[in-house]
Structure 1
């Protein structure tokens, strides 16, 4: 191809490109297209304004966080007695009601202990009744002893007086006997010369001598009576002293004996109460053999089967309630400026497809989560980096019975709470 042919071909290609540009050039816009374009621009501007307003309202009039979850009380059901499980009534993930049977522990040993406690209580009550009845008996016996002792003192004093009178009488008889003996002796002395002169008969003289001897013997007998009377007075005085001592002891020991009997009755009463306490403990232990659900909920973490030997405090299962629930939301500290107790909250649950629940703020935590952790940070050591802290906030459901009628809400579900901090 010659150079001239190449130039002609190039000119033809340029001409074809110019023709194609003229053919592809858009026709002039009509007024309808201009109006539609203007409407679209205005709509976009309106949407931007609305979006900005919503963003401003959301950021100014409410606070939200995605660090929140449903909370609830988890009830660990454990054994309160030791024994072998003989029956289990529930399975994992089963719904139970409050008071529903969960398991039974063999009650034979605890039934024997209960019967023994009943027998011990009956014995203690009998001992107390006997001691209680003996209190008035001891009181009456003590009073009688005091009265008798007083009477003995009076009688002994009277006996002393009588013995003293008898001694006086014996003394008088001694004096009389001595006088008689003296008279008889004088008669013998007078009769002696007379009998020698045969003035009087020998018989009269012998009678006088016999009378003198008898009166002398009477003096000795009267003196012996005086000695006996003195001994009787001494014995009566000793009896008076003994009676007075017994009266003093009765007056002193009588109330003490009553107090001792009352103390014994009180001790028996304490034994009765102790036996009652042991009986009540035996009754409780027997009742603990039948394990029931503390609340209504769902059985989880079941760890008990028939034949297993359980001990006191051993966890058997967990009951998760589905009615007493709340939300724990961990808000940033910068979000708490206008947050107060009682503010309304909208709650969105992720697991239920964003189902909305209503609630209110009931508590604001007393410390940040990091401060309450097992190993709180020590900012005074090492390099310090400021980290926005989070505070746990409790949010209670306000209409849970109606909004959770199907009981699908579970502890641990993630929640997005939106707190209205401005009305």
Structure 2
């Protein structure tokens, strides 16, 4: 637009000069009515005519040179992408604006807390630090409580594990030996009581024979009633002693059976006891895992290997819901997101070479088309030309840089891209 206006001005100036020269040339023709006057001024008219014509031609030539020179120059790209016609030595290319971003884009690391109201008590990194995946970058206010809960759960799990081992092993060997001794003692006691009962029974049989013999003698009148009563008393006494001895044997036999049952109980491991102990252990293990999850939620970890680009939340602040804790990106491999016109996207292929330029770094950086977007969008990267289009339909094309060291610290930098087609 400006070029056309300047060209029109130059042409206008040349036209005015030509008109002046024409007027100078036409004056002698108008003065032919005065032959005497024309005869006196022929040299004066020729004196002004030739310089005017020369000046007009010079001005016209300068105007044509200026216009052609401005139109033949290559202006800086002002649109999102433009076709650049190549010469024999230079291949054809599509120019576009783009921006730098790390591999995998910039990630905003949010708080792991489900409620999103956690407060940062300690920041473990600073801007520019290189971190590894899983590395702790911030500690939240629930950390101390979570540590205590985990220690308690681990202690309960250890106790449940020991109890299960105890149930599976059964009673102590000392308890088993002691119970076996009780069984042997009860058996020996039975034998002793049975022997005593047998002795009393033998004595009773003798006393009964004596009583029967003296009873016959008493009937014959050979002995008195007193003597007979003495033998009768002895029989009754032995009968009582025998009954008592038999009861003692029965009681000893019952004690033996009890001791044997206790021995079996001590030696036996009941399946139901094992199952109960196992269930207690499983519950304790689940509690440990829950405590571990709670502790992990009290820490903010890096999701990828990369570099900390920006810290959005400071110590003492509640984690930002929009910006997260930090912004991180894998700056070891940088990409350029070029915005290509939808009309040019058919010429872009994966693997094509590209060059990137910017005033922020010296020289050029080369790369290759790595991925072509799948949807049409509006351009985000705008040039400095106020006459450039600001609402165009583009497709984002990602270009993988061959060398990222030079621009690893320039995320979101606007660059100029040329893709060889």
Superposed CA RMSD: 5.9
Q: Determine if the alignment matches structure 1 residue 215 to structure 2 residue 231.
A: yes
2:338 to 300, 304, 329: 329
1:359 to 355, 358, 366: 366
2:92 to 50, 62, 79: 62
The answer as to whether partners of 2:96 and 2:416 remain within 8 angstroms in 1 is: yes
Which is richer in helix?
Answer: 1
> Relative contact order (alpha carbons < 8 A, sep ≥ 6): 1 or 2 greater?
1
- Work out the CA distance in 2 between the residues paired with 1:7 and 1:334: 67
TM-score (norm 2): 0.55
The answer as to whether partners of 1:344 and 1:358 remain within 8 angstroms in 2 is: no
Partner residue, 2:211: 181
1:21-420 residue pairs with structure 2 within 5 A? 55=85, 57=87, 61-72=91-102, 73-74=105-106, 81-82=118-119, 96-98=127-129, 113=144, 117=147, 121=151, 128=158, 132=162, 141-192=171-222, 205-206=223-224, 209-252=225-268, 266=281, 270=285, 277=292, 295=307, 310-313=317-320, 315=323, 325-337=334-346, 339-349=348-358, 351=359, 356-370=363-377, 390-402=394-406, 411-413=412-414, 415-420=415-420
Task: Evaluate the alpha carbon distance shift between residue 59 and residue 76 of structure 1 in structure 2; reply closer, same or farther with a 3 A threshold.
Answer: farther
Give 1:188 deviation, angstroms: 2.5
- Work out the CA distance in 2 between the residues paired with 1:156 and 1:239: 6
- Work out the CA distance in 2 between the residues paired with 1:126 and 1:56: 77
The answer as to whether partners of 1:132 and 1:262 remain within 8 angstroms in 2 is: no
- Work out the CA distance in 1 between the residues paired with 2:371 and 2:290: 50
The answer as to whether partners of 2:355 and 2:365 remain within 8 angstroms in 1 is: yes
Task: Evaluate the alpha carbon distance shift between residue 156 and residue 262 of structure 1 in structure 2; reply closer, same or farther with a 3 A threshold.
Answer: farther
The answer as to whether partners of 1:83 and 1:311 remain within 8 angstroms in 2 is: yes
Partner residue, 1:33: none
- Work out the CA distance in 2 between the residues paired with 1:326 and 1:391: 15
Q: How many residues align?
A: 332
Q: Which runs of 5+ in 1 are unaligned?
A: 1-5, 27-43, 49-53, 91-95, 193-204, 289-293, 374-387
The answer as to whether partners of 1:340 and 1:361 remain within 8 angstroms in 2 is: no
Give 1:70 deviation, angstroms: 3.2
- Work out the CA distance in 2 between the residues paired with 1:171 and 1:153: 27
Other structure's SS at 2:185 match: helix
- Work out the CA distance in 2 between the residues paired with 1:137 and 1:334: 78
Give 1:310 deviation, angstroms: 1.7
- Work out the CA distance in 2 between the residues paired with 1:317 and 1:147: 66
Other structure's SS at 1:394 match: strand
- Work out the CA distance in 2 between the residues paired with 1:128 and 1:7: 129
